[in-house]
Amino acid sequence: MTTEPLNWKPRRILRLPQNYDDLFNRYFHRECLTCCKVPSYPLICLMCSKLICLGDCCQTLKSLGIGAETRLTVTEMQTHAEECSSSSGLFLSLTSSLIIIGRGNASAIWGCVYLDSHGEEDRNLKRGKPLILSNRRFELLEKDWHQQEWQRVRQWIPFATSQILIASIRDSHYHVNN
C-alpha cells in the first residue's frame, strides 16, 4: 500500500483530439449540468473533461470567512478549479479556442493549442479555418502547468466576474502572441 498523498503530483492535462472540430462537435449544444441550459460561453475542464458554464447563471457568492460581511462573486470556473484540481484549473473556451487559467481568485488567458495550417491562432474562431492540435503548443502548456509559472500569460485578471472574463476572451484576438 502506498501512503503518498493524493495531490503529490499535479494532475495531467487531458489528451485532446487532433481536430478542433471533433472537440467542438462533441461539446457544442450540450447542456450545463448546473443550470440545465446550453451555455453561451462553454468551457471544458482540461483535467476532468466536464462542461462548465461561464454565464452569470452559474455564478455563486462566496463568503470570505465565517460571519464575514464581504462576499465575492465567483464563476463556475473558479468553483470547479478548486474542486477539481489542487493547484490551478485549466479550461478550454469552446467558442474562442482559448485556454483559460483559473488560479485562486485570478484568471488569465494563456493562448491557443489549436492552430490553423499556417501555424496561426484563430482566437474567437473568426476565420473559421480548420484547426489542428499543435504538439509544440501543447508541450508548452504542459510545461507551464507543471512549473505553474505561466510565462506566456500577459495579464492576470483578479476577481473576474463572468462578464469581465467573457469580455477579456472576446477582446483577446487583439493581443495575439504567436
Residues in contact with Zn ion by CB under 5 A are 32, 35, 45, 47-48, 50, 53, 55, 57-58, 84
Collapsed DSSP state (helix, strand, coil) of residue 30: coil
* Separation of alpha carbons 90 and 47, rounded Å: 7
- What one-letter code names the amino acid at 169? I
Calculate ∠ Cα 134-51-168, nearest 5°: 65
State in angstroms the smallest separation of the CB of 50 from Zn ion: 5
Q: Which is nearer to Zn ion, 16 or 58 (CB)?
A: 58
Q: Which is nearer to Zn ion, 15 or 126 (CB)?
A: 15
Q: What are the φ/ψ torsions at residue 9 (nearest 5 degrees)?
A: -115, 145
Q: Which is nearer to Zn ion, 79 or 115 (CB)?
A: 79
Q: Which is nearer to Zn ion, 26 or 129 (CB)?
A: 26
Element housing 137 (H / E): helix 135-147
Percent of residues in the chain assigned helix, strand, coil, to nearest 5: 30, 20, 50
Are 50 and 44 in contact by the 8 Å Cβ rule? The answer is yes
State in angstroms the smallest separation of the CB of 65 from Zn ion: 26
Element housing 73 (H / E): strand 71-74
State in angstroms the smallest separation of the CB of 79 from Zn ion: 11
Q: Which is nearer to Zn ion, 42 or 111 (CB)?
A: 42
State in angstroms the smallest separation of the CB of 157 from Zn ion: 20
State in angstroms the smallest separation of the CB of 145 from Zn ion: 14
